[in-house]
Every structure is written in C-alpha cells, then in structure tokens.
C-alpha cells in the first residue's frame, strides 16, 4: 500500500497521499477545504496557479493544481498576495496602438526581457514575446500569442519588473477584437435575420413547450461527432 502513496509537504507539514492524485485532490485528501482558488477544476479558469519545489531540486516549478499530479517529496506553500493592478478604461474610447497600451500599462517599459514570465507559464505561452509585441504596437501578434492565457497570474508573480502581463494581454485581445479583427460576414447575416423576424415563430413555439418537451427536443438535436 505504501508504494501507491507519496509524501507531500504543505506549508512544511508532511502528508501521505495517493500518487495518482492532482495537487488539488491530494490537498483535499489531506483534509484541506478549498473555499476559493479552486475554480473550474478543468484547466480553463486559471484560479489554481501553483508554485512548488521537488526534493533535491533548487528550481521553483509551476503548474495548475487541478492538473499537476503530485510527486513524492513535493513541497507546496501559499503564495503571498500581490496586487495584479488593472487599468480601467472604456474600449470605445481607445485606439489600437502602442500609445494606448503604454498609457494604460507604462510598467511594460520596465521589461528586462529576462523571459522569467515565459518560464513561469503553465500553458507554455510565449509571455515575453507578446509583451514585446505590445511594446511595438503589434496588437494582432500580442493577441494571438496570448490567446490561450488563463489569467492565472503566475507570470506576474515571478516578474522582477512588476508587470501584470495577463492584463496587458487582455487589453490587446480586446483591442484586436474591437478594431482589427475582420468582421464575420456570417454573424452579420444572422443578426440581420434575427432583426427581420426569421426566428420569431420558432422562439414562440419554444416558449410554449413544457420542460419534458424541451428535454426531448434537446436530446434529439443534431450533435457533431467528437474527434
């Protein structure tokens, strides 16, 4: 039975947990109750960004607690609170250029190009590269490189220049989608169809259905085959 268990350390205290558990499930197995910081549990929200060390390894490692599996000798500790400063703005009042980004997030001038942010990203995103793209005013590239960002905050936690990279990325994606991305013709056509009342009768019929009828209709819908 001991061969199936691993010893982990949480804030210096040792716990025996099953080896196949994620960090989050292992901590719950050990008796911890998550009231916050657990999020979706599916690696989509970024709420459970975790920094840890392994035995005899000087390096800090990062991961999402809902996905990273425990290892024997793993050391876990709480990350002290640090402010993820976010600029307030109305997207309708902004221009998609470098001046806008530098005005709202002037700290990106302090980027040392040390790549610590990239090394800290559990999604393997080229964080430093999109910050450099933002500095150049290449909004499209910054938005593309940061597309998979979960806003877990680990990049900002490790940044010596105190840049909140994920908020810069969010601004770039908003600027890109509002001002640069090509308009989707099929979406415009659908909006026009809705305005013309094409789906009014169908919506009215749905409103008349009871829960059982709606469930039957839902279960019989066309579903695209999975990969």
Strands 13-18 and 5-10: antiparallel
**Confidence band, pLDDT 50/70/90 cuts, at residue 85:** confident
- The model's pLDDT over 176-191, given as tens digits with 9 standing for 90+, comes to 999 999 988 899 999 9
Whether the model clears a pTM of 0.75, i.e. scores above it, the answer is no
Q: How far apart are CA 120 and CA 82, in angstroms?
A: 16
Would you say residue 214 has pLDDT above 60? yes
More confident residue, 83 or 84: 84
Distance CA 214, CA 220 (A): 10
| Mean predicted confidence (pLDDT) in 8-18 | 92
Q: What is the CA radius of gyration of the chain?
A: 23
- Checking if the pLDDT of 175 tops 90, the result is yes
Domains and their CATH numbers in the chain: 5-78 (3.10.20.740), 91-180 (1.10.1060.10), 185-219 (no CATH)
Residue 227's pLDDT band (cuts 50, 70, 90): low
What does the block give as tokens for 16? 């025996």
* Cβ atoms of residues 51 and 60 within 8 Å: yes
As a whole-number percent, the residues of the chain with pLDDT over 70 amount to 95
Q: What percent of the chain has pLDDT over 90?
A: 66
């Amino acid at each position: 039975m001991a061969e199936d268990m691993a010893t982990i350390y949480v804030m210096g205290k040792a716990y025996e947990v099953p080896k196949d558990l994620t960090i989050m499930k292992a901590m719950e197995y050990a008796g911890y109750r998550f009231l916050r910081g657990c999020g979706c549990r599916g690696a989509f929200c970024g709420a459970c960004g975790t920094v840890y060390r392994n035995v005899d390894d000087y390096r800090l490692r990062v991961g999402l607690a809902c996905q990273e599996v425990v290892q024997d000798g793993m050391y876990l500790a709480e990350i002290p609170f640090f402010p993820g400063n976010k600029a307030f703005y109305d997207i309708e009042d902004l221009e998609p250029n470098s001046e806008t980004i530098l005005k709202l997030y002037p700290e990106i001038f302090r980027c040392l190009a040390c790549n610590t942010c990239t090394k800290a990203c559990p999604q393997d995103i080229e964080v430093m590269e999109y910050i450099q793209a933002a500095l150049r005013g290449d909004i499209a590239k910054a938005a593309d490189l940061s597309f998979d960002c979960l806003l877990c905050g680990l990049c900002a936690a490790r940044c010596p220049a105190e840049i909140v990279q994920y908020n810069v990325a969010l601004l770039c994606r908003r600027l890109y989608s509002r001002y640069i991305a090509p308009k989707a013709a099929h979406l415009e056509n659908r909006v026009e169809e809705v305005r013309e009342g094409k789906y009014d009768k169908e919506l009215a019929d749905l409103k008349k259905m009871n829960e059982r009828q709606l469930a039957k209709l839902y279960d019989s819908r066309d579903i695209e085959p999975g990969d």
